[in-house]
Structure 1
Amino acid sequence: MGVDVELMRVEQRGTSPKRRKLIPLAVAPDPDEVFVRLVDQVRGRGTHPMLERVDPYSSLILSPAEMPQFLSELARLPTSTAQDVEAIRRLEDLARQCAADPATELHLDGD
């Protein structure tokens, strides 16, 4: 089960959650489960607390304020192939875009 990462713009008029609207901006799919495999390599060690919350069976929503930690943990993932490096690069690109725009969220959606 892969985890697709999607950058979303959040539009919300007023305070009612019913008025919350998500607009997809960009996506980094994980059809080969590269991201999940990399996260599984560090799971349980306590070195990547944010990434350990990633679950291939549920969703995790991260705010722009969480992007520095997310980027730091991505940079410390053990990569051994070009496919690993490319997958992390795509996630870093989305995380940087999210960090730069307070009206966005990063959605990590499992299958």
Structure 2
Amino acid sequence: MPLVKDRVKQTTITTGTGAVALSGAVAGFQTFAQAFASGAQVYYCIADGTAWEVGIGTYTAGSPGSLSRDTVLDSSNGGGLVAWGVGTRDVFVTLPAAAVSSGSSEVTLATIHSYTLAM
């Protein structure tokens, strides 16, 4: 199961539909390297203020670290990979609605307990 952790956020300038290189740390947030071991599967969101993508990716440590975009759960591109253009965007960890919803907008404590939270 993908992991989640609070307040993980970096930026990227990667273009296209492949893995994103994780660049700048965002003040007040931890980096993916501080939150996860290399190879960890995580829920992510990439957003630039207009376009966005939510999915499951794999964090790989390095200089810079990277995040693959393995499964798109939803996006501003009709649910498909967003082809990122030139510019800076945020990459952060989120618990997506698709991970906790089964046709209901309500999240129950039992639902939350069925997902793995990184410690």
Q: Which structure ranks higher in relative contact order (CA pairs < 8 Å, sequence separation ≥ 6)?
A: 1
- TM-score range relative to shorter protein: under 0.3
TM-score by length of 2: 0.24
TM-score by length of 1: 0.25
The structure richer in helix per residue is 1
